[in-house]
Amino acid sequence: MPKGSAAWLSGTTPAKAAKRLAVIGLDCADPNLLEELLGGLPTFRELIGGGTFSRLASVDPPITVPAWMCMFTGRDPGELGVYGFRNRADYSYGGLAVASSASFGVPAVWDELGRRGKRSILLGVPGTYPPRPVRGLMVAGPLTPNGGTNFTYPASLKHRIATWVGDYIPDVRGFRTQDKGWLIERVRGMTEQRFSLARRLLREERWDLFVMVEMGPDRIHHGLWAHHDPHHSKHDPKSPFRDAIRDYYRFLDGKLAELLSELPGGTQVLVVSDHGVQGMEGGIGINEWLIQEGYLVLRRYPERPVRLGELVEAGLVDWSRTVAWGEGGYYGRVFLNLAGREPQGIVPPERYEEIRAELAARLAAIPDEAGRPIGTRVLRPEGLYRKVRGIPPDLIVYFGDLGWRSIGTVGWRNVHLRENDTGPDEANHSHHGIFIAYPKLDDRPERSILEVHDLILSVMGDG
C-alpha cells in the first residue's frame, strides 16, 4: 500500500456528521468479483475489514445512465424519465436521443449541498455532460465528446487539466475490440489519468463533497470477461489475457491507495458502483423475432444487417401493419404502435393491455437455440417505478435475466446471435453493485442505490 494511505485508514474514526465525504465510484464493480479477488487487493481488504461492505441493489434497468444519477438524486428512472443512454424524445418513429445533463430535471445531492454553502468536486460522473454550474468544480462524465469541447465547470478548468494531465480521456471509445492488448493499455491509461487528476484536485481545491466515477472496470469487463470467467462459453484457459481483469484490479487497488492518502483525517469514504457484471452468452434479435412473429412488418427485408432506424428513414417499415418494434442494447425495449399516440398507430387503445400481455408472455418464452428456457424477465414500467415520466418503453425485456443482449439490428435472418452487433462484448450487467463505507456505517448485507443520496446528506449533517 503506498505511503500515507495506511496512516489515513488508521487515523479515521466514525463521526455522525463528517466534515468531508469522498465518494469513489467504480462503474460495474461487482461484489462477487471483488470477494473473489480480495486476497490480492490490500486497500480494498483494509477498507472492508474496518468498514461496511454491502451489496448495492441497482435500479431497473441496471445501466450506467441513468443508474449513477439515480444514486445521486435518490430518484428512480421513472421519476427521472430516463431509461437508458438513449431515450425517445417524442412519439414519432424518429429513433432515440442521447441523454444529457439536461435530461435530469431534478437537483442532485451536490446541488442541494451547494445551496447550503458546501463545495463539491465532481469528476467523471455519468449524466453530467454538458457541465452545469455547481458550487465548486465539475469535470463532465463519459458521454463527453473527445477533443476541444467545454467539458468543465468553470470552463477555465479545462486549461488547468491540460497542463496537469494532457488531453483528458473521458472514456475509452471503441472498447468493443478484438485488440485486447490495446484495450488493456487504453483503460489503464484512462484510470491512471483520472486518479492523477483526482489527487491534484483534492490537494489544490477547497471541497466538502468529492465525487468521482471511474469507467475502467466496466470497459475491462466488457472486453475481457470471457478470458477471466471459466464458466463463460468462450473461455480459453490458455488465453494470454486470462489474468487481465485480476491484474487491472490490482492496479486499481494501488490507485485507490494513492487517492486515500490525499484525504484529510476524518473524511468519510464511500466506494460504490452502479451495477455488477455477469457473462453474456449472446444476443436475441428482438426485431428479427418481431418480424418472424408478424408484429413488425417490413416493405422489403434488408440484404445485410442494418439498424432499424435506417429502414424507418428509408420508408421500409409498413406502419399500417406493424403492432410493435424493439430497441437493442444491454436490455430490450418494446414499443407498441398505439393508435392515437404514434403517428400511424394501429393498436386500439382498448386492446393495449391485451396485446402487451401477449407480447410479454411470448417474449419471456423465447428459448435458446436448443429449445431450452433462458429465464427472460419482462417488466412493465408502471410496476417498477414510483412515477413514470418521459416516454418509457411499453415493455422492458431482460433476455436471460441479462445473460443475453437485445440485438436491435435487422437482416440476420436469425433470432439467436452469438456475436454482438456493435462489436465484441463478453459481459452484461448484473443487478447488484458494491457499497463500502469507511469508517463503518450501519452494517447491512444489502442496501439500495436509491438510499445513497439521503445517506450522503445524513453523513454531512444535512439529512
Q: What is the pLDDT of residue 419?
A: 82
pLDDT at 18 over 60: no
Mind listing the pLDDT tens digit for each residue in 356-390?
Answer: 999 999 999 999 999 999 999 999 999 999 999 99
In the chain, pLDDT over 70 holds for what percent of residues?
95
pLDDT tens readout for residues 137-150: 999 999 998 765 79
The Cα–Cα gap between 14 and 6 comes to 16
Can you tell me the mean pLDDT for 170-183?
A: 92
Cβ atoms 255, 290 nearer than 8 A = no
* Confidence label for 2 from pLDDT (cuts 50, 70 and 90): very low
Q: What pLDDT shows up at residue 11?
A: 59
Q: What is the mean pLDDT of the chain?
A: 95
Residue 231 near residue 403 (C-beta atoms within 8 A)? no
Residue 330 pLDDT greater than 60, yes or no: yes
Q: What is the pLDDT of residue 12?
A: 60
Q: HEC profile for 69-107?
A: HHHHHCCCHHHHCCCCCEEECCCCCCCEEECCHHHCCCC
pLDDT at 7: 56
Average pLDDT over residues 229-235: 94
**Which residue segments constitute the domains of the chain, with CATH numbers given?**
5-279+429-459 (3.40.720.10), 282-424 (no CATH)
Measured distance CA(405)–CA(421) in Å, rounded: 10
Rounded to whole angstroms, the Cα distance separating 200 from 389 reads 39
Residue 282's nearest CA partner among 400, 409, 408 is 400
**37-67 tens-digit pLDDT:** 999 999 999 999 999 999 999 999 999 999 9
Q: Match 445521486 to its residue by C-alpha cell.
A: 72
pLDDT of residue 3: 45
Task: Quote the CA–CA distance of 298 and 11 in Å, as a whole number.
Answer: 66
Residue 4 has pLDDT above 60, yes or no: no
Question: Taking 70 as the threshold, does the pLDDT of residue 14 lie above it?
Answer: no
Asked if the model's pLDDT at residue 156 lies above 80, the reply is yes
H or E stretch covering 147: none
Residue 350 pLDDT greater than 50, yes or no: yes
Please say if the pLDDT value at position 296 is more than 60.
yes
**Mean pLDDT of all residues in 214-228:** 97
Q: What is the pLDDT of residues 406-454, one digit of tens each?
A: 999 999 999 999 888 777 889 999 999 999 999 999 999 999 999 999 9
Average pLDDT, integer, range 118-126: 98
Rounded average pLDDT over 216-233: 96
pLDDT at 149: 79
Q: What is the pLDDT of residue 15?
A: 47
Task: Please report the pLDDT score of residue 423 as a whole number.
Answer: 75
Amino acid 104: pLDDT: 97
